[in-house]
Structure 1
Amino acid sequence: MKFRGGLFLLFFLFIAHSVSAQTANELRRKKEAIQREIEQLQKNLKKASSGKKLTLQQINALNAQIRLRQEKIGTVNSEIKSLDNQISTNTNTVNTLKGQLSDLKSDYAAMIRFAQRNRNAYDKMMFIFAAKDFNQAYKRIKYLQQFSQYRKKQAGYIEDTQHELNGKITVLGKTLKEKNNLLKEQEDEKSRLGKDKSKQAVVLNKFSRQEKGFKGDIATRKRQQAKIDSEIRAAIKRAIEEARRKAAEEARKKAAEAARLAALKAKENNTTVEATPAAKEKTTNELLTDNAYTAKLAAGFENNRGKLPYPVVGTITESFGVHKVDKATMNNEGVNITGAEGAAVRAVFDGEVLYVSVIYGKYVVVIQHGSYFSIYQNLRSTSVSKGDKVTTRQTIGVLANTGDVAELHFEIMRGQTKLNPEAWISK
């Protein structure tokens, strides 16, 4: 029973170790991914800081870097909690094994005393010959043979297990200390980044000439984005109108056929033709999903909410919604993802290229997914044309540098409505 109890404990320890190891690996991979994002932002900031002029992109990149540092600290905290759980589990196991070892030592002492009393060959022979029959005598021989082996194996087995677990706890304790040091280091780094951000804010407020230029940059960006939005909305509107025209033509043909059949029936029955009720006008969503292909695309896109891949490898440095920078307000109807110049820009889902154009020297690509549209702005070049069918993660172009950093402006729309891309792309 004790032997089986030991096996059960070891099995439980193995399962707990496997689960904790998996969690630790996931946290480690997440931390490494965050670190890669931080390093890319640092490269971009270093490159951008060579200019004397402070830009919105630099501030956004710095804010994103601070956010990533905070996220990394949270990941380290999770690693520490995971290690605490491992230590607790292993400590409980060791305490249980210590109790078992104590019991086995008592049994072992009794076995030693028994062996001491029956240590000579004569006593052993008497023990065997005192058997009732040959079968019992054979079993007593086997018992004597196994008695010594079992005694040695059990004591050694439990002691080795205890030694191994004590060693594991020591290692985990050292790792916990390292993680605490890492947490302190990250907190110090976050503090330094916060000070740098404050310094930039002071510089922004102190130098009125730079402040005016900063506001001017935001105003220019608003005007440029308004023009791009206008052209994109016009392209989507044309797609909706084309779908409406096709639907109206199809409805007209169906109505004409129905009227013809009704006239034939009325003539046969010598009755008057009843008026056909007007067809109900289709919604925008119905117009854009009026066939099996577009309906499948829209359903697939919707089912992948929160699981769409990033359109470019990088970090979201400006999120969806209204942002106030200094005294200027900016409404971002998508997300800005900072990456490496020349990085591949990829389609987030299967679809058809609706629109490709060069605006302000940079390419804009719109892909239709049934009633949904994904929009990719600030491409240096593109490898797709209007009407092309694309697949998920297919490269559609490369990322351009906007003057300070390489930044993709990415949007998602349902019909003419802007959606928050962060709710759709994977975390």
Structure 2
Amino acid sequence: MKLNKLFLSLLFIALSTTAFAQQTSNELKALKQKKEAIERQIELAQRNLNKTTSGKKLTLSQINTIKAQVRLMQEKISTINSEMRSLDNQITENTGKVHNLQTRLSDLKKEYAGMIRFAQRNRNSYDKMMFIFAAKDFNQGYKRIKYLQQFGQYRKKQAAYIQGTEKDLNNQISVLDRDLKNKLSLLKQQESEKSRLDRKKSEQAAVLNNLSKDERKYRQDIQKNRQQQAAIDRQMKAEINRIIEAERRKEEARIKEAERLAAAKAKAEGKVAPVVSAKPRTTSQILRNSPEDAKLSDAFENNKGNLPWPVASGVITTHFGPYTVGTARGQNDGVVYQTSENASVRAVFNGKVSKIRNILGKYIVIIRHGEYFTIYQNLKNVSVSEGTSVTTKQAIGTAANNDGTPEVGFQINRGGIPLPPESWVAR
């Protein structure tokens, strides 16, 4: 019967659209969470900025904070745009579902009306008997008897299908109405964020203009900051190189001992000692020499893009690579996380504390993960010691203030080569 075809068609539509709706819902949920996370970063940066701007001269930290806020606001607007695109897809899908349900409901009602008319024509026993006896042959008559037996059940089912379809239609209209209201809310958010971004850009322009006017006054501070950071980076590289060299010496000693034992064995057996021509080993091979170090290196690599941040909450104000502040230019070997007061600094992966240094009153911790190293700078205290093993997210110290702002420098290094941390940590 047509009823079965209609029901199967409705079932197919419901199943095919449910998966799409679930996917869109998950996408919207993820975008909303991302937007909320960005807003928390903006608020944290603003709180720190409020603490450092009152009655104080402009600092490099303040400049970087404002730049980070502008970037985060732009990212938030981009996220809102993605939300609206996803919501538009959902609205289009739901509009199609409403139209389809309206069409199906109309078809069901027409089919039901035909059944009612048939029932009216065959409302007594005589009419039913005449309907059966009017069959062309016995086979058709039998089918008409079975049809009449099932007719009442079909009427009840179709009435239930109509009620269910009407209910689905009303629910879908409610969902569509909610989506349209959500889109209107997103449009208002977008407009508000654009105005907020314009104000922050004006603030940034004023700060940069102030920097340009008084650059001679600030240049000394910026230059001092650059020199200090460059000196720290050189010392960190030197520490890592010392660790690599120590591992190389261990490897050379192991090879010499193996050669000595082989020569002693050959002499005892009256044979000529074998000539061992050891091939030069790369830094990577040296640092992955033991099975434990190789396993740890592989585990670190496999977690690329999923490592936790070195602080539970914060915002990146300084990025990896070349940078420009006014006319000053430099190179960052890592990133700087601006965080909250007395924030805990934590290891981003399992490893062993290779070095702890106190430079200019601030602590630096180097943790080795096989051939990889993570470096944590600007700690006011540490809660681990050299040679101890640490686990992922284990606290290793507390963030110190830099120009009144709590900050943590973070670097990832592979065999002496700095890597961009943002491609390794989770977004």
Q: Answer whether TM exceeds 0.5 for this pair.
A: yes
Listed one character per residue, the Cα deviations across residues 262-310 of structure 1 (whole Å, up to 9, x for unaligned) are: 3344x36xxxx36724422322222222211222222222222222111
Q: What residue in structure 2 maps to residue 180 of structure 1?
A: 187
Contact 1:320–1:333 (8 Å) recurs in 2: yes
Q: What residue in structure 1 maps to residue 112 of structure 2?
A: 108
Q: Compared with structure 1, are the counterparts of its residues 25 and 188 closer, same or farther at alpha carbon in structure 2 (3 Å cutoff)?
A: same
For 1:400 and 1:238, how far apart are their aligned partners in 2? Answer: 27
For 2:229 and 2:87, how far apart are their aligned partners in 1? Answer: 48
Q: What residue in structure 2 maps to residue 368 of structure 1?
A: 368
Listed one character per residue, the Cα deviations across residues 396-416 of structure 1 (whole Å, up to 9, x for unaligned) are: 111111123111111111222
Q: What residue in structure 2 maps to residue 280 of structure 1?
A: 279
User: Does residue 1:193 correspond to 2:192, yes or no?
Assistant: no
Q: What residue in structure 2 maps to residue 153 of structure 1?
A: 160
Alignment match of 2:25 (pick from 21, 24, 31): 21
The total of aligned residue pairs comes to 419
Q: What residue in structure 1 maps to residue 334 of structure 2?
A: 334
Q: What residue in structure 1 maps to residue 349 of structure 2?
A: 349
**TM-score using structure 2 length:** 0.91
For 1:263 and 1:351, how far apart are their aligned partners in 2? Answer: 43
What percentage of residue pairs aligned between the two structures are identical? 42
Q: What residue in structure 2 maps to residue 61 of structure 1?
A: 65
Q: What residue in structure 2 maps to residue 359 of structure 1?
A: 359
Q: What residue in structure 1 maps to residue 304 of structure 2?
A: 305
SS state at 1:276 partner = coil
Contact 2:363–2:382 (8 Å) recurs in 1: yes
Cα drift, residue 102 of structure 1: 2.6
Cα drift, residue 369 of structure 1: 1.2
Cα drift, residue 160 of structure 1: 2.4
Q: What residue in structure 2 maps to residue 414 of structure 1?
A: 414
Listed one character per residue, the Cα deviations across residues 137-160 of structure 1 (whole Å, up to 9, x for unaligned) are: 984564243243234223322222
SS state at 2:322 partner = strand
Instruction: List aligned pairs for 1:28-39, cutoff 5 A.
Output: 28-39=32-43
Which is further off, 219-228 or 24-33? 219-228
Contact 1:58–1:404 (8 Å) recurs in 2: no
Contact 2:323–2:329 (8 Å) recurs in 1: yes
Contact 2:364–2:376 (8 Å) recurs in 1: yes
SS state at 1:189 partner = helix
**TM-score using structure 1 length:** 0.91
Listed one character per residue, the Cα deviations across residues 100-120 of structure 1 (whole Å, up to 9, x for unaligned) are: 223223222222222222335
For 2:79 and 2:130, how far apart are their aligned partners in 1? Answer: 69
Q: Compared with structure 1, are the counterparts of its residues 423 and 155 closer, same or farther at alpha carbon in structure 2 (3 Å cutoff)?
A: closer
Q: What residue in structure 1 maps to residue 177 of structure 2?
A: 170
Stretches of 4+ moved more than 6 A in 1? 128-138
Q: Compared with structure 1, are the counterparts of its residues 144 and 245 closer, same or farther at alpha carbon in structure 2 (3 Å cutoff)?
A: closer
Instruction: List aligned pairs for 1:90-109, cutoff 5 A.
Output: 90-109=94-113
Q: Compared with structure 1, are the counterparts of its residues 141 and 106 closer, same or farther at alpha carbon in structure 2 (3 Å cutoff)?
A: closer
Q: What residue in structure 1 maps to residue 93 of structure 2?
A: 89
Q: What residue in structure 2 maps to residue 72 of structure 1?
A: 76
Contact 1:128–1:141 (8 Å) recurs in 2: no
For 1:150 and 1:219, how far apart are their aligned partners in 2? Answer: 82
Instruction: List aligned pairs for 1:378-397, cutoff 5 A.
Output: 378-397=378-397
Alignment match of 1:263 (pick from 249, 264, 267): 267
Cα drift, residue 136 of structure 1: 7.3
Which is further off, 57-66 or 122-131? 122-131
For 2:274 and 2:127, how far apart are their aligned partners in 1? Answer: 117
SS state at 2:261 partner = helix
Cα drift, residue 127 of structure 1: 5.8
For 2:24 and 2:394, how far apart are their aligned partners in 1? Answer: 36
